[in-house]
Amino acid sequence: MDNLFTWETLGTLAGAAALTYLVVAYTKRLVDQFWPDFLGTDIYAVIIGFLVLLAATAAQGYDLTWASIILALFNGFLVAAASGKMSDKAILEKQRKEEAGKQCDE
């Protein structure tokens, strides 16, 4: 079970970023249908990261005080940034492989 998410894992930057990446990746097309273009996917990722951190905080038995909520919001930006880097890495890796395949074909 050490490879699955736990509430403790979701309370870390790595765990929250991984779940945020997955949620955004799998729901982006659906959300794009009603999400305003000017907000972009980045703000959507911040909101998801914020909600993941709030859930992890509450699930671990901590009180949701105004301070913990504000901290989760601030950390939501860090989670979204880390999640975005995961997305960038996945896209860039795919492009790199495609370019390498084209070079082999030539």
Q: Taking CA 17 as the corner, what is the angle to CA 62 and CA 71, rounded to the nearest 5 degrees? A: 40
SS3 call for 64: coil
pLDDT (0 to 100) of residue 86: 78
The confidence score (pLDDT) of residue 21 equals: 93
Domain limits at 55? 7-105
- In angstroms, how far is the first alpha carbon of the chain from the final one? 46
Q: Domain for residue 2, yes or no?
A: no
Q: What is the mean pLDDT of residues 59-87?
A: 93
Q: What percent of the chain has pLDDT over 70?
A: 87
pLDDT at 2: 64
- Residues 53, 19: Cα–Cα separation, whole Å: 10
Residue 4 confidence (pLDDT)? 84
The answer to whether residue 64 is domain-embedded is yes
Cα–Cα distance between 97 and 94 in angstroms, integer?
A: 5
Q: Residue 37 domain-assigned?
A: yes
pLDDT at 98: 73
The answer to whether residue 57 is domain-embedded is: yes
- The pLDDT assigned to 47 comes to 96
Domains of the chain: total: 1
Is 1 contained in some domain? Answer: no
14 found inside a domain: yes
